[in-house]
Structure 1
Amino acid sequence: MPVPTLTLIGAGHVGRVFGRLLARASCFTIEDVLTRSPASAQAALDFIGAGRAPGGWDQLRPANVYMLAVSDDQIVPACAALAQAVPLAGAVVFHCSGALASDQLQAARAAGALVASVHPIRSFADPQAVASGFAGTYCGVEGDAAALAILNPALEAIGARPVAIDASAKTVYHAAAVFASNYLVTVLDAALRAYQAAGVPEAVARELAKPLATESLANVFRLGAPAALSGPVARGDYATVARQQQAVTAWDAATGALYEALVAPTTDVARRKPR
């Protein structure tokens, strides 16, 4: 059987890594790599080690699979341009957004394509390092079953671990990463500032918070969140909670509001704590 062809629309860090890995695993033959400029296209081709840089949409060749590795705000217009440029009947078109679902690819679906989304759950700040250590990377996938029947084996061939997600909850799925990463940093920043407000130097504050944070995280991933919860809410000591909230608010109103906002959801976690 001939190796199916893959064209990349956009080739930033995610597109380059996927292109290189999929080509090296012989999952696809890289057809075209279309980017905003000849320079970026050449850089992508050099990284991937395969493909051709067309001069524009009108020079795209038909392919079996198309990956839209573009920014979220460009997915719809890029898909529309693709549907105008090449015949898509029977092809697979997928994007790599973590926030948007495959329903953003309606232009491709209307042209007869199968559509999907594949979101690799990791940072791509260093494409070379990611490409070298991609094995074990989870990818949130959703879309047409026939599209995923083609994409999932290719992902598994490069060491990825596809995880099916509910397309209707794609935004909530993406928010999960924000809670697990971005907002975790915000809460830890509040802890460090609170220590400093009590006269602890910043460097020492980090050392005080580190074992609490690392042990709590380890317990969450080992036991689950309810079992890992400790502290005054877990003990039902709401008098202490009230005193802390009042003191934190007096020190810094915004941090006090954050403390208050966390009491109710933490109480809910405590209710689910094993007895």
Structure 2
Amino acid sequence: MTPSAASSAPAVTRVSVVGRGRLGSAIAPTLTHAGYTVFGPTGRDEPVGDADVVLLCVPDREIRDAAAAASGHATLIGHTSGATGLDDVDFGLHPLQTFAGGDDPSVFAGIGAAIGGRSPEALTIARSLATALGMHAFEIADADRARYHAAAAFAANFVVTLEGLAERLLREAGPDIDDGDARALLAPLVRRTVENWAARGAASALTGPIARGDDETVARQRAALAPELVPLFDVLADHTRALAAERSR
């Protein structure tokens, strides 16, 4: 496969990937598989390979220094951060996915990619790289990047936090249930819930006592919680009531 880009941007055939974390370690072989000549991923304090594009797969706090170190090694520099603006780079390319390590090239297939560019040329390069990786690119303005990334945190990070709390409550409710048992028992419920949400939307997928208007059961749930969990329960319950109200409109 030969890499290609829109006529408004220079042809990109060489990409230098900086960052040996989970994302950099997944992107580098996938770009190679897509036909690019890839240097790296390189680690901290290692020389940056000269290329058409340097793609920074580093923590947000390291972007500025990494971009400065990469200056002069490529025509354009991009980062893979979801929340960080483009002040120090030419473009952004953020895969809307979680990476656990050891991922094969198909991990990018069909997922979203938030892109942005400080110039039409840079935006075109970001889009072409996303397409080469097999992703669906969508543009996010710099001013909206933090809001976009918050959406990703709600969809992924906070879900994991809530599932961790669900494990804890189930273990406390059943003395014979250990960590593995709790996950095995809850996982089918979580999977079906996510599948229903993806197919039908949040309001239509909502079930449970709040959706049924069963305030007595909700009160019993609240009373059974440790005091430190009550404020979180109340906030989630309020938002769930608002979601349930959407179904009756």
TM interval, short-chain normalised: 0.7 to 0.9
Structure 1 residues 97, 70: closer, same or farther in 2, change over 3 A? Answer: same
SS of residue in 1 equivalent to 2:98: coil
Residue in structure 1 matching 2:135, options 115, 138, 160? 160
* Cross-structure match for 2:34: 25
Distance (whole Å) between structure 1 residues aligned to residue 191 and residue 64 of structure 2 = 41
SS of residue in 2 equivalent to 1:187: helix
Q: How many residue pairs align between the two structures? A: 237
Q: TM-score, normalised by structure 1?
A: 0.72
Structure 1 segments of 4+ aligned residues over 6 angstroms from their partners:
none
SS of residue in 1 equivalent to 2:108: coil
Structure 1 residues 247, 130: closer, same or farther in 2, change over 3 A? Answer: same
Structure 1 residues 29, 221: closer, same or farther in 2, change over 3 A? Answer: same
* Cross-structure match for 2:44: 36
Residue in structure 1 matching 2:195, options 192, 208, 218? 218
* Cross-structure match for 2:111: 137
Determine if the alignment matches structure 1 residue 170 to structure 2 residue 145.
yes
Partners of 1:8 and 1:66 within 8 A in 2: yes
Partners of 1:3 and 1:29 within 8 A in 2: no
Residue in structure 1 matching 2:165, options 190, 203, 225? 190
Q: Any residues of structure 2 matched to 1:1-275 within 5 Å, and which? A: 4-26=13-35, 28-30=36-38, 34-36=42-44, 56=47, 61=50, 63-83=51-71, 86=72, 91-103=75-87, 105=88, 115-127=90-102, 129-144=103-118, 145-199=120-174, 201-202=176-177, 206=183, 209-248=186-225, 252-274=226-248
Distance (whole Å) between structure 2 residues aligned to residue 196 and residue 22 of structure 1 = 44
Distance (whole Å) between structure 2 residues aligned to residue 87 and residue 178 of structure 1 = 33
**What does the per-residue CA deviation read over 1:150-201, in whole Å, with 9 as the maximum and x for residues that have no partner?**
2312321332222322332322322333322332233233334334444463
Distance (whole Å) between structure 2 residues aligned to residue 134 and residue 185 of structure 1 = 21
Q: Tell me the CA shift for residue 34 of structure 1.
A: 4.8
Distance (whole Å) between structure 2 residues aligned to residue 188 and residue 16 of structure 1 = 28
Structure 1 residues 121, 198: closer, same or farther in 2, change over 3 A? Answer: same
Distance (whole Å) between structure 1 residues aligned to residue 45 and residue 38 of structure 2 = 18
Partners of 1:8 and 1:33 within 8 A in 2: yes
Distance (whole Å) between structure 2 residues aligned to residue 74 and residue 167 of structure 1 = 18
Paired letter, 1:74: E
Structure 1 residues 167, 256: closer, same or farther in 2, change over 3 A? Answer: same
Distance (whole Å) between structure 2 residues aligned to residue 171 and residue 201 of structure 1 = 43
In structure 2, runs of 5+ residues without a counterpart are 1-9
Q: TM-score, normalised by structure 2?
A: 0.78
Distance (whole Å) between structure 2 residues aligned to residue 94 and residue 265 of structure 1 = 37
Percent identity at matched positions?
33
Distance (whole Å) between structure 2 residues aligned to residue 210 and residue 2 of structure 1 = 46
SS of residue in 1 equivalent to 2:247: coil
RMSD over aligned CA atoms reads 3.0
In structure 1, runs of 5+ residues without a counterpart are 39-55, 109-114
Distance (whole Å) between structure 2 residues aligned to residue 198 and residue 18 of structure 1 = 43
Partners of 1:140 and 1:163 within 8 A in 2: yes
SS of residue in 1 equivalent to 2:243: helix
